[in-house]
Amino acid sequence: MKTKFSTLAFILFSIFSFAQSQTKQSSTIQQKQNSENVTYQLFPTKNYWTFIKLDTRNGKMWQVHFTVNADGEKGEVILNSLSLVSKVKEANGRFTLHPTENMYNFLLLDQIDGEVYQVQWSMEEKYRGIVPIK
C-alpha cells in the first residue's frame, strides 16, 4: 500500500512540475516575442506595487507605483530621463531589463551595442538612478 501511495505521489508531483515548467517557458517565449516590436514595456519588481516602465527605443525609464487603496500612493517617478542613444539610433526593442537577486537592482542591456547599465529603483529619490557598467 505504501509503495502504491508513493508511486502515485511521485507521478502527481512529476506532472505538476512539468506543467509548471511548461507555463513558465511559454510565458517567457511570449514575453520575448512581444518585446521585440514594442516601444514601452513594463517589468515587474519583487515589490507587488512597483513596476519599471522602459522605453525600449532609448533606455528612458520610470518607476511605476499602483495601489488598491483610495489613499495609497500611485504614479510614476523618473529613473532615467536621458536617452542613452542618439535619435537616429533609436529602435523598438533595443533595450531590455534583466532582474538581479537584489530586488532594487536590474541590469539594462543595449541589445545592439552590448552596453550594460545598473538600474536601481527606490522609494527615496537619492537611491534611484542608473550607472553604466564598463
Spans of all domains in the chain = 33-133
Q: How far apart are CA 78 and CA 9, in angstroms?
A: 50
Please tell me whether the overall predicted TM-score, pTM, comes out greater than 0.85 for this model. no
Q: How far apart are CA 29 and CA 23, in angstroms?
A: 10
Q: What is the structure's pLDDT at 29? A: 46
pLDDT tens for residues 40-61?
Answer: 999 999 998 999 999 999 999 9
Determine the average pLDDT of the residues in 97-126.
Answer: 96
Q: How far apart are CA 85 and CA 91, in angstroms?
A: 10
E strand segments, the chain: 40-44, 50-55, 61-65, 75-80, 95-99, 105-110, 116-120, 129-133
pLDDT band at 14 (very low <50, low <70, confident <90, very high): low
